Chains A and B, each alone.
Chain A
Amino acid sequence: KAGVTQTPRYLIKTRGQQVTLSCSPISGHRSVSWYQQTPGQGLQFLFEYFSETQRNKGNFPGRFSGRQFSNSRSEMNVSTLELGDSALYLCASSLRLAVNTGELFFGEGSRLTVL
């Protein structure tokens, strides 16, 4: 069974640009969550989608947005990139609402570098 797939794995952008990251969850999983991982702040919750609806949102500015498609695949977008957005962006999927069990299955992440 394929795991959570994230694309692209690495990308470099410049300040002011925008970026879109993609996540394909494990087959059958309908919940997708996004986390930002940095050395200083660790893993921080961005948002969670279930059945194409945003169910939870973390404390990030509106430049961070996401969506989920009918096949459960999800994308997140960051607009007007800042240097501080450089991070590993992790997607996690779950069979049901992720936080009901804490059993998240993470992808390997998309490493974003903003120059």
Chain B
Amino acid sequence: QQQVKQSPQSLIVQKGGISIINCAYENTAFDYFPWYQQFPGKGPALLIAIRPDVSEKKEGRFTISFNKSAKQFSLHIMDSQPGDSATYFCAAKTQGGSEKLVFGKGTKLTVNP
């Protein structure tokens, strides 16, 4: 079964620090890797995404690093703020006959003031 493994499950960071969340996948048939942010009581919202032909993508304080050979990708949040406290999900889109998003199990980030 196609899987995306996400770590850590939870993360506590001080304000101004760097938050790093890692994901690994097994299936090489994934062709798109989005990250979603979810606040309590809300649905997930797309944060940033990357395609496997790019090794890094930056949008403001958020950066995705992608290592195709290692089948790993990570989210870096620079200068973490209390407002970044949320659950983050990595995901991968499968290509081929049964296309769908496969999500990691999420990382609960807490940024202390």
Contacts and interface: CB of A to CB of B under 8 A. Distances in A.
Interface residues of A, number: 28
A33 B44 CA distance: 13
A70 B89 CA distance: 32
Interface string A79-115: 0000000000010100001111111111111000000
A4 B45 CA distance: 12
Contacts of B99: 56, 97, 99-100
Given A99-B93, A99-B94, A107-B43, A45 B100 contact: yes
Contacts of A45: 100-102
Contacts, number: 65
A28 interface: no
Contacts of B46: 102-105
Per DSSP, chain B at the interface is strand
Contacts of B49: 101-103
A8 interface: no
Interface residues of B, number: 25
A102 B32 contact: yes
Interface of B: 1, 32-34, 36, 41-46, 49, 89, 91, 93-94, 98-106
Task: List 3 A-B pairs, minimum CB-CB distance, nearest first.
Answer: A106-B43, A42-B105, A43-B103
